[in-house]
């Protein structure tokens, strides 16, 4: 398996390479459980076959990279991510699980020099919303695919006040605002959270992809987000984003009460929605 030399500086100014990545790396099990509800849809659409060469963009701690490698064997999967802390966690998890045919590359997927045409399939579980220039990023990612190769990714739909998840998180935020000391948000983290929604409408996805990809399909997938085993676990997980914030016991109790209606035998879960996007790399040289 060939992976391009890492040209990324030791530290980038992406919050994923700092506080956000460190948080995801420390809490990788909870985050995998939180977003894992999309995996069936993602992998069914990706239809990875034995021998495929797979690129996982914004691979984080690499759960989907490893799943892809198992499906692709005797092919392989490469995870690319800008976050040093998350890639360190991905490598540890890969060694612990003993998965073969996996490699990780640190880089900004918008500019990283991938091996041209080196992949049959690109996948991403929520790792493609953070680019400075989406058109340039998808053109660069397209160059990594052979002509006719496919990209399959999931990204958040626009959070509306009508979705269960938005309502619950909205109530959660209001209780915190009223019952805990205020926090000074880190502007880089706020920008990353804003970027989460950068592909939240079909026209934004088509606009980002159409230069490089054809047969673009954007379909809604409804799923559950899992926040923890119990309401107390879920509160602890949600508050771990701001570990220095003092949250009084009465406020914690109110937060738990908010989540109690969503406690199930499969953990605390709220209904949410993502876009499942599939597209095929143009064969006419447009992406090259
Ligand atoms: C929402 S997390 C998803 C992580 C992983 N795909 C998962 O499902 O657990 C977004 C990921 O995208 C990565 N990322 C953000 N900007 C990136 C960029 N420009 N190039 C490569 N990866 C990036 C982050 O470091 C992070 O791992």
Say whether 238 sits in a helix, a strand or coil. Answer: helix
What pLDDT, in 10s, does the model give residues 69-109? 999 999 999 999 999 999 999 999 999 999 999 999 999 99
Distance, in Å, from the CA atom of 25 to the CA atom of 22, rounded to the nearest integer, reads 5
Q: With a 6 A CB cut-off, is 60 part of the ligand 1 pocket?
A: yes
Atom of ligand 1 lying closest to residue 83 CA: 25
Q: Supply the residue whose CA is at minimum distance from atom 18 of ligand 1.
A: 108
Question: What is the residue extent of each domain of the chain?
Answer: 15-159+188-225+276-281, 164-184+228-267
Q: Which atom of ligand 1 is nearest to the CA of 28?
A: 9
Residue nearest to atom 5 of ligand 1 (CA): 60
Q: Name the token pair of 54.
A: 């797979």
| Percent of the chain whose pLDDT exceeds 90 | 86
From the options 3.90.870.40, 3.40.50.2300, 3.40.50.150, 3.40.190.10, give the CATH code of 15-159+188-225+276-281. 3.40.50.150
For 131-180, write each residue's pLDDT tens digit: 999 999 999 999 999 999 999 999 999 877 678 999 999 999 999 999 99
Confidence check: pLDDT of 285 > 60: no
Does position 284 have pLDDT exceeding 70, yes or no? Answer: no
Span from the CA of 59 to the centroid of ligand 1 (angstroms): 6
Query: How far is it, in rounded angstroms, from Cα 8 to Cα 81?
Result: 10
pLDDT at 56: 98
Give me the DSSP letters along 100-114.
-SEEEEES-TTT--P
In this structure, the number of other CB atoms found within 10 A of the CB of residue 183 comes to 13
Closest alpha carbon to 66 in 100, 30, 92, 38 = 100
pLDDT, one tens digit per residue, over 190-204 is: 999 999 999 999 999
């Amino acid at each position: 398996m060939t992976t391009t030399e890492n040209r990324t500086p030791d530290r980038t100014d992406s919050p994923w390479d700092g506080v956000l990545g460190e948080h995801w790396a420390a809490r990788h099990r909870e985050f995998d459980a939180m977003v894992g509800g999309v995996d069936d849809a993602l992998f069914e659409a990706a239809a990875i076959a034995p021998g495929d060469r797979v690129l996982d963009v914004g691979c984080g701690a690499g759960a989907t990279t490893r799943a892809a490698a198992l499906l692709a064997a005797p092919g392989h999967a490469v995870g690319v991510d800008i976050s040093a802390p998350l890639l360190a966690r991905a490598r540890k998890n890969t060694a612990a699980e003993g998965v073969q045919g996996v490699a990780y590359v640190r880089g900004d997927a918008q500019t990283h020099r991938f091996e041209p045409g080196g992949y049959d399939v690109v996948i991403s579980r929520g790792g493609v919303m953070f680019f400075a220039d989406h058109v340039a990023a998808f053109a660069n990612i397209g160059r990594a695919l052979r002509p006719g190769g496919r990209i399959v990714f999931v990204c958040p739909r626009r959070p509306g006040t009508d979705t269960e998840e938005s309502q619950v998180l909205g109530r959660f935020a209001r209780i915190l605002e009223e019952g805990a000391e205020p926090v000074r948000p880190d502007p880089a983290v706020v920008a990353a959270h804003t970027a989460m929604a950068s592909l939240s409408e079909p026209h934004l996805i088509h606009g980002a992809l159409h230069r490089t990809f054809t047969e673009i399909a954007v379909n809604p997938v409804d799923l559950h987000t899992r926040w923890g085993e119990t309401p107390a676990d879920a509160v602890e997980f949600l508050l771990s984003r701001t570990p220095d914030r003092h949250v009084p016991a009465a406020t914690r109790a109110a937060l738990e009460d908010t989540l109690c209606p969503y406690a199930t035998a499969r953990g605390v879960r709220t209904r949410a929605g993502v876009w499942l996007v599939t597209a095929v790399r143009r064969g006419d040289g447009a992406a090259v």
